[in-house]
Amino acid sequence: MVRGYIYSLLAVALWSANFVIANVVSSEITPIELSFYRWLIAFMVLLPFMRSALNSAKTIVKDRTIFLSFIAASLLGISTFNTLIYMAGRYTSSINMSLIAVMSPAFITIINRIFLGRPVRGITWFGVLLATVGCVVLITKGNLTILTGLQVSLGDILMLFSAISFSVYAVVQRIPKGMSHIEYLFLMIFAGLVALFPFYLTDMFIGNNFHVNLTTLSYILYLGIFSSLIAFYLWNRSIGIIGSMQTGVAYYLLPLFVFLIDYIAFRTELNNLIVSSFLLIFGGVIIIHFTRHEKRAK
């Protein structure tokens, strides 16, 4: 049991560096290039072990519903989600990004209710409201007049779209029966790379080539191997040991890990606004998490 919790925390710790790196390399490499190289490395690492992936691809193509779900999941989960994170990293802090990222359960609840008609309990809606208030406090820096003056940080808005993108991805993703998670991920990475490739070529054509240095290369390798693959493996191992509900709680500690990295590396200080936003968002998503799963269990 303890191993399961350790695996989930390690996975979140590995993912948290994604937000810090988005800030650090923002002047060295474009968001499109960073996203493309990250997934290209992950694809190349998996390629030698994916001999059966072609048969799995045939299974996806044969079923129109599964195929459309797969395309949407690939575009949102691979091509869009992380690219928007790297774009946001140019304009806002890694802590802000991580706080907005953990809003996903609130967005998933809203999407399920509005578009799929799934019932939502009153206490779950309270969690959504609490998390939303926390997000608004964060984005407006506690000053609602910022909304009327359209002075909201572009980075926070981009991160908001990133979180929504991930939420839609989580709703539409459908892994066919008999297919492993890692095979499905491999095929999604391939489809996501195909979608990113024209934008990558455009970046290259207009001369936005990243500055090749050991530091930037090490960050890209980290994202491609640790954030994309090892974290995924640890997360699924955790689910296998302690279940999805207990594993999922660890994800909401993402801002804490981001702050720890920021503090150790850059001596970043917290302020009352960040703490207040974290408590509101964390409280809201915890309510959503447990009341949503409790409903399913019944």
Q: What is the mean pLDDT of residues 252-263?
A: 88
Q: Are 233 and 10 in contact (CB under 8 A)?
A: no
Question: What does the pLDDT read at residue 265?
Answer: 84
Q: Are 33 and 83 in contact (CB under 8 A)?
A: no
pLDDT at 67 over 70: yes
Question: What does the pLDDT read at residue 201?
Answer: 93
Confidence of residue 289 (pLDDT cuts 50, 70, 90): confident
For the chain, give the secondary structure using H, E and C. CHHHHHHHHHHHHHHHHHHHHHHHCCCCCCHHHHHHHHHHHHHHHHHHHCCCHHHHHHHHHHCHHHHHHHHHHHHHHHHHHHHHHHHHCCCCCHHHHHHHHCCHHHHHHHHHHHHHCCCCCHHHHHHHHHHHHHHHHHHHCCCCHHHHCCCCCHHHHHHHHHHHHHHHHHHHCCCCCCCCHHHHHHHHHHHHHHHHHHHHHHHHHCCCCCCCCHHHHHHHHHHHHHHHHHHHHHHHHHHHHHCHHHHHHHHCCHHHHHHHHHHHHHCCCCCHHHHHHHHHHHHHHHHHHHHHHHHHHC
Q: What is the distance between the alpha carbons of residues 121 and 86, in angstroms, rounded to a whole number?
A: 35
Q: What is the distance between the alpha carbons of residues 225 and 229, in angstroms, rounded to a whole number?
A: 5
Task: Label residue 241 exposed, middle or buried (CB < 10 Å: 0-12, 13-18, 19+).
Answer: middle
Q: Is the whole model's pTM more than 0.85, yes or no? A: yes
User: What would the pLDDT profile of 71-98 be if each residue is shown by its tens digit?
Assistant: 999 999 999 999 999 999 999 989 889 9
Q: What φ, ψ does residue 41 adopt, rounded to 5°?
A: -65, -45
Q: What is the mean pLDDT of residues 191-208?
A: 90
Q: What is the distance between the alpha carbons of residues 57 and 66, in angstroms, rounded to a whole number?
A: 11
Token pair of 1 as six digits: 């049991």
User: What would the pLDDT profile of 92-126 be if each residue is shown by its tens digit?
Assistant: 989 889 989 988 888 988 888 888 888 888 888 99
Task: Label residue 265 exposed, middle or buried (CB < 10 Å: 0-12, 13-18, 19+).
Answer: exposed
Question: What does the pLDDT read at residue 205?
Answer: 85
Q: What is the distance between the alpha carbons of residues 129 and 208, in angstroms, rounded to a whole number?
A: 41
Residue 93 backbone zone (phi > 0: left; psi -120 to 50: alpha; other: beta): beta
Angle at 273 between CA 93 and CA 255, to 5 degrees: 50
Winning range, highest mean pLDDT, from 95-99, 118-122, 137-141, 147-151: 95-99
